[in-house]
Structure 1
Amino acid sequence: MTYILLIIGFGLLIFGANYFVDGSSKIAALLNVPPILIGLTIVAFGTSSPEAIVSIMAALQGSPDVAIGNVVGSNIFNVTLVIGITAIIYSLKVEDETIRKEIPFTLLASAALLIMISDTALQSTSSNVITRSEGLVLLLFFVVFMYYIFEVARKSRNENPVEQVDSSGNTWGKQIFITIMGLAAIIFGGNLVVSSSTDIAYSLGMSETLVGLTIVAVGTSLPELVTSISAALKKQSEIALGNIVGSNIFNIFFILGISSVITPLTVDNKIFIDVTVMILLTVLLLFFSRTHFKVGKYEGMILAGAYILYLIYIIIRN
């Protein structure tokens, strides 16, 4: 029954995120908001909403390993398998802004997380904890990132005026209802995923960290995978890569920020290696981007292969 509840929870997360993105995007269209702003904010938030709800629920239920493991595991999954599979389908063109600002911003987020979980090494404390004050710092970084996004959107709007969108059939009440129902499905599904996955962890002798890094991380990253593959099939490669990079920044700054403000997150020592792997993989993505200004099929296979090797390692480690 626990496994069935886990599958139902993932289903609610995926369908909820889909309806949430669809409804909120149409509301934005009714408001004549620039498409780039929709992509960088509403779509990015919508595809990351399962991670947000799962980590917040895990923090509230006293499972910090699931909360942190979910974010780190999702980011690794995004950089390797999501970008890898998408690039194998259709080579991803990398925008200059992504190379110069967004990927380095992802590295900054990862480095900030590594410093915040290094209390024992840096402050000689008995345990490593992401405190409420550190959570507030992460949220401040998120505000800076959002300011950057709105500046990009403003610049884009000045250069490319918004075209009037045909909003026939898009009634306010209908789209608000769809958005609220999508959010409700995400919240309920997130609660099911956290409770059932931790039960499975205990029954199989798995650590909560491993469950967060694998089952929960992959499940909550399915919206990003579906969105990126869909964008690649439509040959909108900039959207595919931009969504992943933006999602990874959102995961660390907003999700871990708000989770640790709700309750301080105790850190499993094993997560240090995973955060280091996340940083190295982001550096690899930056190297591919700077060298070729795209992530091609060959680079995609390397990234996908890296995830398989990482998965084997963490299963053996458990």
Structure 2
Amino acid sequence: MWIEIVLVIVGVALIVAGANFMTDGASAIAKRLHIPQIIIGLTIVAFGTSAPELVVSVIGSIEGSGGIAVGNVIGSNIFNVLCVLGACALVHPVPVKLNTLRFDLPIALVASILLMLVLSDMPLDGMPSLVSRSEALTLLLFGLLFLLYTIVVGKQGDDDSETEEEERNMHWLLAVVYLVGGLAGLVYGGQLFVGNATKIASSLGVSETLIGLTLVAWGTSFPELATSVVAAMKGNTDIAVGNVIGSNLFNIFFVLGISGTVRPLSNLQFTSLDIWMQLLAMVIALGVALFWGKREIKRAEGGVMLLVFILYNVWIIFNAVG
């Protein structure tokens, strides 16, 4: 099993490196084609930051590992809110912008409720324990509507900043190499990751869903944790909440939507706690920001969020192996 663990780590490294190279190459090409900065940020960059989750879930869907695909989405969302924001707040208090509090957090709550409906025994098409194509397409539709809303709002404060010139200087050929090479790294890394994570689940005698909620979700979300904590150490925490919410919305609407459209996701072995936890995480974040922290997640609240994350994961692991 140690070989599989090493290959899982190699897979994560390839996915992260591939996402970075692909995003840089695609952004350079888009800017040479004079595509507006706001469109690049909301499509190419957004895809790049969530590419690990998307690639792993889509490959899991193609290979019939629905538990890994959906577990990755739920586990990543829980990780982002409780672990990433909690860790950042421990390092440096995290401010919550007014627009985030008024619009983004409530939208994220609605998205989490929609995900609950899809995964519960009262899904949109009457087929329990299955994410069907009709449900996946519904999620994609909501995602496109949110993207349109974000573009409209973003254009009101759009600023084609100085960062454009640096990426535009990248040569066409180098940009194409970055794009193609990054995509290849994403696909191959995703195959390594999913294939060996499935083998680990079989070796341990646990469900693919548990592996998706833990090992896979942690692996795909760890780069965001690392970059967010480093930013917090430098005092740059003002966009942390917005980034986490954006990532969670992308996971629900696009990662799960695309994965379920490629192939209906079945054999989902979730407990009610798993389904409720992703909603509870958003409620905790909203409550902390609105009532306790007064538009700021302080160190004490960050510690509580991390504690909830640890207790939840200890519970699901012991519940599975015990």
- Residue 225 of structure 1 aligns with an amino acid whose one-letter code is L
Cα distance change of structure 1 residues 152 and 227 upon mapping to structure 2, 3 Å threshold: farther
* Distance of 1:131 and 1:289 partners within structure 2: 35
How do 1:268-307 and structure 2 match up within 5 A? 268-291=268-291, 292-307=294-309
Query: Any idea what SS the aligned residue of 1:266 has?
Result: coil
Shift of residue 28 of structure 1?
5.2
The gaps in structure 1 that reach 5 residues or longer are none
- Residue 219 of structure 1 aligns with an amino acid whose one-letter code is G
* Distance of 1:38 and 1:18 partners within structure 2: 14
1:139 lines up with 2:111 in the alignment: no
* Distance of 2:13 and 2:65 partners within structure 1: 22
Instruction: Write out per-residue CA displacement over residues 230-283 of structure 1, whole angstroms, 9 at most, x where no aligned residue.
Output: 432443323322111100000011011111111111253524321201101101
* Distance of 1:179 and 1:58 partners within structure 2: 23
The count of corresponding residues between Structure 1 and Structure 2 is 315
Aligned-residue identity in percent:
42
Query: Any idea what SS the aligned residue of 2:239 has?
Result: helix
How do 1:256-271 and structure 2 match up within 5 A? 256-266=256-266, 268-271=268-271
Shift of residue 288 of structure 1?
1.5
* Distance of 1:67 and 1:3 partners within structure 2: 19
* Distance of 1:227 and 1:105 partners within structure 2: 25
Instruction: Write out per-residue CA displacement over residues 31-65 of structure 1, whole angstroms, 9 at most, x where no aligned residue.
Output: 67676655544333212101101111111111111
* Distance of 1:104 and 1:128 partners within structure 2: 26
The TM-score with structure 2 as length reference comes to: 0.89
Choose from 86, 92, 95 the match for 1:93.
95
* Distance of 1:230 and 1:43 partners within structure 2: 19
The aligned residue for residue 128 of structure 1 is 129
The aligned residue for residue 152 of structure 2 is 151
Query: Any idea what SS the aligned residue of 1:166 has?
Result: helix
Residues 76 and 213, structure 2, Cα contact 8 Å, conserved in 1? yes
* Distance of 1:192 and 1:107 partners within structure 2: 33
The gaps in structure 2 that reach 5 residues or longer are none
- Residue 287 of structure 2 aligns with an amino acid whose one-letter code is F
- Residue 143 of structure 2 aligns with an amino acid whose one-letter code is F
* Distance of 1:237 and 1:116 partners within structure 2: 33
* Distance of 1:37 and 1:72 partners within structure 2: 27
* Distance of 2:133 and 2:126 partners within structure 1: 19
Shift of residue 120 of structure 1?
5.5
The Cα RMSD (Å) is: 2.3
Instruction: Write out per-residue CA displacement over residues 282-308 of structure 1, whole angstroms, 9 at most, x where no aligned residue.
Output: 011011122321212121111111111
* Distance of 1:123 and 1:242 partners within structure 2: 32
The TM-score with structure 1 as length reference comes to: 0.90
Query: Any idea what SS the aligned residue of 1:178 has?
Result: helix
Choose from 83, 86, 94 the match for 2:85.
83
* Distance of 2:268 and 2:233 partners within structure 1: 39
How do 1:47-196 and structure 2 match up within 5 A? 47-119=49-121, 127-157=128-158, 160=159, 162-163=161-162, 165-167=164-166, 169-196=169-196
Cα distance change of structure 1 residues 121 and 46 upon mapping to structure 2, 3 Å threshold: closer
Cα distance change of structure 1 residues 244 and 32 upon mapping to structure 2, 3 Å threshold: farther
* Distance of 1:316 and 1:137 partners within structure 2: 35
